[in-house]
Amino acid sequence: MIELRHIHKSFSGKKVLNNVSINIAKGEVVVIIGPSGSGKSTLLRCLNLLEVPDSGEIMIGGVSLNTASYTQKEVFNLRAQTGMVFQNYNLFKNKTALENITEGLIVVKKMSKSAANEVGKTLLAKVGMLEQASQYPITLSGGQQQRVAIARALAINPKAILFDEPTSALDPEKVYEVLHVIKELAKLKTTMVIVTHEMEFAKEVADRVIFMADGQVVEEGLPEHVICHSDNPITRKFLRQLTDKPIEQESFSI
């Protein structure tokens, strides 16, 4: 479903992604973990070209793009393969929950308002938010806003959904709401790539965990192995420091 080949990305001369290659199967839930600055969020944003890699190839759902040479049509086609869920929801504040979902369907997909509303209501029901369809984001809790954001990502019928720290802005008691929705999507064999700092969340939802440090994939495997029983010293240092002290205090050089 998703393949990245030899992805490189630098910002102001600093290498953030260094020759990263990954494969993700259809229906697989892959969680990417690692210290701040490891490149995991940049990698996620490269998947839908919110950040354009300096070099490498991206393939999603049969659509491919070579970052050395591409057209705007290729960019549009690749972006259409994924839905994105951001850390801070990114909902339109002046639109209702339903309108946040239907906006893209009407403007981009050229769907009629009535047809878009039917899709929107179905998706709100799917994430347990139909009763709040006419409410504005300011009246919703963080967990509710994130569930609307997930419904919006689903609206374009993507081949995969990308989550960038979907629970990190939530109060602890609201994390369950979002976790439940993601777990339900996993049951439907929805392909998902999730960047998170929360290890319990990762263990619950992931089919596979990828650990990154210094812009490279250090280790990948089953959640139980990578998070609980890794024999890689870099992975173990990172996981130990999650409980011992801030992870910025030590280098994670490979």
Mean pLDDT to the nearest integer, 140-145:
94
pTM score, whole prediction: 0.90
So what's the pLDDT on residue 136?
Answer: 98
pLDDT-based confidence at 244, cuts 50/70/90? low
The percent of the chain in helix, strand and coil, each rounded to the nearest 5, is 40, 25, 35
pLDDT tens, position by position, 20-60: 999 999 999 999 999 999 999 999 999 999 999 999 999 99
Q: In the chain, what is the greatest distance between 2 CA atoms, to the nearest angstrom? A: 56
SS3 21: strand
Per-residue pLDDT tens over the stretch 88-132: 899 999 999 999 999 999 998 899 999 999 999 999 999 999 999
User: Bigger pLDDT: 170 or 41?
Assistant: 41
Residue range 135-151: mean pLDDT, rounded: 96
Question: ∠ at Cα 24 (3, 48), nearest 5°?
Answer: 55
Percent of the chain with pLDDT over 90: 78
Mean pLDDT of 73-77: 93
